[in-house]
Amino acid sequence: MLLSLLAAVAISQSAAEFDAEAAFGARPFFGGVSASPDGNRIAAYIDTGERWGIGVYETTGEQGFSFFLDGSDKVTLPSYVWKRDDLLLIGVGRPAEAFGSVFTMVRLFGANPSTKEMTPLFKEKASKLPVLIQNQIVSILPEDEDHVLIAYRPKIRNAVSVFKVNVNETDNHKRVHHSHTADGWFLDFEGNVRGRVAIMNGKPQTVLAKPGGGWQNITRFIKSDETTFRILGFPLEPGIVYVASDHETDTQALYSFDIEAGDFKEQLFVHPTSDVYGIAQDTSDGRVIGVSYAEETGKIEWFEDNEIQSRMDKVKRILKKDEAYLVSLNMTQTAGVYAVSEGARPPSYALFNYDRDRIVTLPSQYPQLDDVELGITVPVSYTARDDLDIQAYVTLPPGFDSLADARDLPFVVMPHGGPTARDFSGFDWWAQYLAHKGFGVFQMNFRGSSGYGRDFREAGEREWGQAMQDDITDGTQWLIDKGHASPDKITIMGASYGGYAALMGAAKEPDLYVCSVSVNGVSDLPDMISYELGRGRSKKATRKIGRQWGDRRMLRENSPARRAEDITIPVLLVHGERDGVVPISQSEKMRDALEKVDRDVTFVELPKGSHYLNVDENRITFLRELNEFMGRCK
């Protein structure tokens, strides 16, 4: 029986009056898409605006949803994976409390999409030391239809062991790998243990398996302050691990690493301006056949002709799309889910069943935007005041064919969060909403952004409100000097670190911007560092912002909440009630400081909101508040 989810979407599309806030603020219809072993079904996170959860979509016969498991405020669905055509393994989380703290307990269930039957794979046992996580599947064991391997901590004080779990019954499992100190395990795709992570005397230790037996401690590579060492995967060849490292290059290059020798074996790939992000491996022996990196969008460098590449080319050719990339490959490697995109439009999904040579396109991610004209996004670059080259993106309102045509527009300068993250070209719901409202949008990858190499990343350390902020200011001035932006109609806006930068921009450059919008933003650096340390984050990590005592003067000077008198423009503060990354107290303190000096401030609390605008209708609520506020900024 098909569910009425697609009908609900169709109804919303046929509404006579276009609601821009609802259309751009809707969460994507599909997410986390993967194909069943036979390639005839897909499972995905589904959000219709009225319901959200995990759904199974039939791609043969009468297409539509045959199974749906609802999530809610009190029931989270953090993971799922196909085990068989008739079995999904789903992690189900719910709130729990122990030792005065609230956390999420995740149990693992087997779900039959046809019968709707849900079977817990572990018994729930009453204990003052509760089970925390049961859904860390470390190997799906594709050749064994009845078992999987799970990294599992039976009680909070136990080590994490690897258990072989029977997926057909409740509480039928056997421990197969154990260490008294293990907190995590590395396995290859055949289920062979290749390493483990442990916390020893409060410090992380990483050991990898030697080919002849025993373990090699590689912690010194991972913990190095000077270089990066990221484990990307394992070939089936014993004693080798693939890693990303910048020990001899500025950007992170791909290497094979000899575990027993404790040394780098061979550099396999390096890009002059981009870090390595991940690898593609041959399913027969695990050797690397491709590596991903970034330019304006994600790219893959293939080391040899292969089926993955040829299939992606075929998807692009048949669907006539600019870009296509493999999102997931099913367990039998007979079908793949692809994300396909064209310019700045939202990506869509397609299922390619290789055995049948059949491509099925899935329903639209943003159905209400299907017939809406979107703005183009143009990659640009500018030079900061110290001659550092900064890459950026300009999104223009619909109707503009080139950046040269954009003159004297109202603009929104929108630095990203992180700050060790980066923006890419492609669909951005914030940027496209603002473009729809007539604003140009400017997004820059200021110093400290990730993906451009160690020197660029480290140039942002302890530069909150200083050199990183100057990069944003210099980009804004570049827009004005080029004639693209009207100098008296520029708003600065961002979320998380971007929200901090929006507030700091208002404090440092009150004559450059006409409005400031901070979403889940930091406002007080000393308080934020104290919060991070209270959550167990190391002093080493927080020193990327500044030393709590040694840099106390600098931290205070670069805290917008302590510079409220310098802010003379209207400010909109939006914050999620349950933000666990940046506490809502950061925006509350900013509001109180602005009100104390009689400044124009609007404060919006999003009920149940997280750090990511991903709860209920919080995206839409945000855009409605933003639309009202921006009326005075244009």
Predicted confidence (pLDDT) per residue in 270-295, tens digit? 999 899 999 988 878 889 988 988 87
Report which secondary-structure segment, H or E, holds 499: helix 497-508
**C-alpha distance from residue 339 to each of 327, 335, 346, 358, 364 (Å):** 6, 14, 10, 16, 11
Q: Please say whether the beta carbons of 120 and 109 come within 8 A.
A: yes
- Report whether pLDDT(163) > 80: yes
| pLDDT value of position 127 | 58
Residue 523: band (very low, low, confident or very high) from pLDDT cuts 50, 70, 90: very high
- Other CB atoms within 10 Å distance of the CB of residue 595: 13
Count Cα atoms within 13 angstroms, Cβ side, for 487: 9
- Sign of CA pseudo-dihedral 499, 504, 510, 512: negative
| pLDDT value of position 99 | 56
> What is d(CA 112, CA 118) in angstroms, rounded to the nearest whole number?
7
- Read out DSSP for 171-223? T-EEEEE--TTEEEEEE-TTS-EEEEEEEETTEEEEEEE-TTSSEEE-HHHHT
- Report whether pLDDT(223) > 80: no
| pLDDT value of position 98 | 62
Q: What is the mean pLDDT of residues 393-411?
A: 95
Q: Please say whether the beta carbons of 213 and 222 come within 8 A.
A: no
| pLDDT value of position 102 | 60
215 beta partners: 209
Q: Please say whether the beta carbons of 315 and 340 come within 8 A.
A: yes
Q: What is the mean pLDDT of residues 190-200?
A: 86
Q: What is the mean pLDDT of residues 13-26?
A: 79
Retrieve residue 404's tokens: 């040269």
> What is d(CA 51, CA 140) in angstroms, rounded to the nearest whole number?
29
HEC sequence for 60-79: CCCCEEEEEEECCCCCEEEE
Report which secondary-structure segment, H or E, holds 166: strand 161-166
220-224, 239-243, 466-470 — which is least confidently predicted? 220-224
**C-alpha distance from residue 360 to each of 55, 59, 422, 553 (Å):** 17, 7, 32, 59
| pLDDT value of position 342 | 79
Report which secondary-structure segment, H or E, holds 31: strand 30-35
> What is d(CA 151, CA 163) in angstroms, rounded to the nearest whole number?
6
> What is d(CA 121, CA 48) in angstroms, rounded to the nearest whole number?
30
> What is d(CA 172, CA 122) in angstroms, rounded to the nearest whole number?
8
Higher local confidence (pLDDT), 3 or 553: 553
> What is d(CA 356, CA 338) in angstroms, rounded to the nearest whole number?
16
- Report whether pLDDT(594) > 60: yes
Cis amide leading into 419 (omega within 30) = yes
Percentage of the chain modeled with pLDDT above 90: 55
| pLDDT value of position 202 | 63
| pLDDT value of position 100 | 57
| pLDDT value of position 14 | 46
- Report whether pLDDT(7) > 70: no
pLDDT in tens, 108-158: 999 999 999 999 999 877 655 566 788 899 999 988 999 999 998 877 667
pLDDT in tens, 312-364: 888 888 888 878 888 888 988 899 998 888 778 898 899 999 988 899 988 88
> What is d(CA 104, CA 92) in angstroms, rounded to the nearest whole number?
10
Please tell me which of 177-186, 482-491, 612-621 the model is most confident about, judged by mean pLDDT: 482-491
- Report whether pLDDT(496) > 80: yes
Q: What is the mean pLDDT of residues 587-613?
A: 95
Higher local confidence (pLDDT), 319 or 12: 319
Average pLDDT, the chain: 88
| pLDDT value of position 76 | 87
Phi/psi-derived region of residue 201, left when phi > 0, alpha when psi is between -120 and 50, beta in every other case: left
| pLDDT value of position 15 | 45
Nearest residue to 577 via CA among 586, 569, 568: 586
Retrieve residue 321's tokens: 């799309």
Q: Please say whether the beta carbons of 195 and 210 come within 8 A.
A: no
Residue 225: band (very low, low, confident or very high) from pLDDT cuts 50, 70, 90: low
Please tell me which of 97-111, 308-322, 460-474, 607-621 the model is most confident about, judged by mean pLDDT: 460-474
Higher local confidence (pLDDT), 392 or 157: 392
| pLDDT value of position 301 | 85
> What is d(CA 135, CA 91) in angstroms, rounded to the nearest whole number?
5
> What is d(CA 157, CA 161) in angstroms, rounded to the nearest whole number?
12
- Report whether pLDDT(238) > 80: yes
- Report whether pLDDT(536) > 80: no
Report which secondary-structure segment, H or E, holds 151: strand 147-152
Which residues, 6 or more positions from 509, have their beta carbon under 8 angstroms from its beta carbon? Answer: 473, 476
**C-alpha distance from residue 139 to each of 82, 287, 349, 613 (Å):** 12, 18, 26, 32
Q: What is the mean pLDDT of residues 479-488?
A: 96
491 beta partners: 412, 515
Count Cα atoms within 13 angstroms, Cβ side, for 391: 18
Q: What is the mean pLDDT of residues 3-23?
A: 60
- Report whether pLDDT(634) > 80: no
